Structure 1
Amino acid sequence: MKRGFKIVSKDQGLGLELPKRATKNAAGYDFASSVDMTLPSIWELGLLKALKVILMGKNLSETDAEMARKVLKPYLIPTGIKAYMQENEVLIIANRSSNPLKRGMIIPNGIGVIDADYYDNDNNEGEIFVQMMNFGITDRHIKKGERIGQGIFMPFLLADDDEGPKATRTGGFGSSGK
């Protein structure tokens, strides 16, 4: 087994499909949401109130700032999928080209990086989540099975003097920086 996808244990039997390429020359494997969910618009009242205060040249209260921060946070869309790959490979999660233009959905950090040692980690079995924000005017309702991103397997290179970290992954999403 060199690289591929599996459904995480908790989502077995839910009718999920493994990611696949849409066309013969496509580089990316389409990832879909494993649940029905709502991706709230960032243009919620808390953000608009904070912008109004800032535009008027006034100081933002901590309460108003916290409300705005809650609206501007990305949401994790579960896929129910995990990916296995070689040690010198990475799975890059990229946005679908139609998401920003047609749906107002973006990946706030540009891409997601799925390391080889994320697979079968103790916290979440390596389930891949796509981090998204909705810049559309209204909330975006995402249906189970709706394509939300694409994954591209890529090799990576190490620096000549790389000594390699000794640490092993101890957690799930966002845990390699601890």
Structure 2
Amino acid sequence: MKRGFKIVSSYADKKIKLPVRATQQAAGYDFFAAKDFILPSIWQPKFIKVLWQLIIKSATEISETETQVAEKSLQPLLVPTGIKAYMQPDEFLLLANRSSNPLKRRLILPNGVGIVDADYYNNQTNEGEIFFQLLNFGLKDRLIKKGERIGQGIFLPFLAVDAEVKPQQKRQGGFGSSGK
């Protein structure tokens, strides 16, 4: 088996969908939400209050606590897919937003794209479950329904430099663990 998708064990009996290509020429595999998920709007009252204070006052007049509370509403959330991807060692899965998400649903991937490395599959922390990091800049909280398309993934090869010193470290965790 060269590359593909499997359901993580914690979702084995949850009737979730494997990613699929929508058309014959589609490059990306559509990923679906594994469960109902509420993605809060960034426009929370505490954020608006601090934003207003920034407009009418100087930033030094806003307390650290107020700043932290406001910034928390700008934090993206991880929407679970219940899916893991296996691939060849010289490949990765690029996670991208659906083109309709920002325009129609006000949802963005704040990191632009996500990268799923081959060694993320079956890691110790979360079995390699793929999450889409999303931020809702719409005015209201957004309910993402189980089975709703939330993003897409494209398998791609990558190249290493000629004189590379091969990394010796093995992956020790799940989401965001390769930079530790």
After TM superposition, the score normalised by the length of structure 2 is 0.97
The one-letter amino acid paired with 1:12 is A
User: Residue in 1 aligned with 2:128?
Assistant: 126
Percent of aligned pairs with the same amino acid: 60
Q: Distance in 2 between matches of 1:74 and 1:20?
A: 25
> In structure 2, what is the Cα distance between the partners aligned to 1:75 and 1:176?
19
Code of the residue aligned with 1:60 in structure 2: it is I
What is the CA distance between 1:55 and its match in structure 2?
Answer: 0.7
Aligned to 2:96: 94
Are positions 1:149 and 2:148 aligned together?
no
Structure 1 residue runs of 4 or more that deviate by more than 3 Å after TM superposition = none
Match of 2:165 in 1: 163
Deviation at 1:57, TM superposition (A): 2.6
2-structure distance, mates of 1:155, 1:57: 50
1:18 is aligned to 18
- Which piece of structure 1 moves more, 62-71 or 96-105? 62-71
CA distance in 2, matches of 1:5, 1:115: 14
Quote the Cα distance in structure 2 between the aligned partners of 1:11 and 1:124.
12
Q: Return the TM-score normalized by structure 1.
A: 0.98
Residue 110 of structure 1: aligned partner = 112
CA distance in 2, matches of 1:79, 1:103: 18
| Alignment match, 2:28 | 28
SS at match of 1:51: helix
**1:18 partner SS:** coil
Summarize deviations over 1:43-67 as a string: whole Å, max 9, x none. Answer: 1111111111111133211121011
Residue 57 of structure 2 aligns with an amino acid whose one-letter code is G
Aligned equivalents of 1:54, 1:161: Cα separation in 2: 50
Aligned counterpart, 2:65 = 63
Q: Distance in 1 between matches of 2:134 and 2:115?
A: 14
Deviation at 1:177, TM superposition (A): 0.4
| Shift, 1:108, TM fit | 0.3
In structure 2, the partner of 1:9 is 9
Say which SS state the counterpart of residue 96 (structure 2) adopts: strand
Corresponding residue of 1:84: 86
Is 1:53 the counterpart of 2:53? The answer is yes
Higher mean C-alpha displacement, 61-70 vs 32-41? 61-70
Give the deviation of 1:10 after TM superposition. Answer: 0.7
Query: What do the CA deviations read for 1:90-122 (whole angstroms, capped 9, x no partner)?
Result: 000000000000000000000010000000000
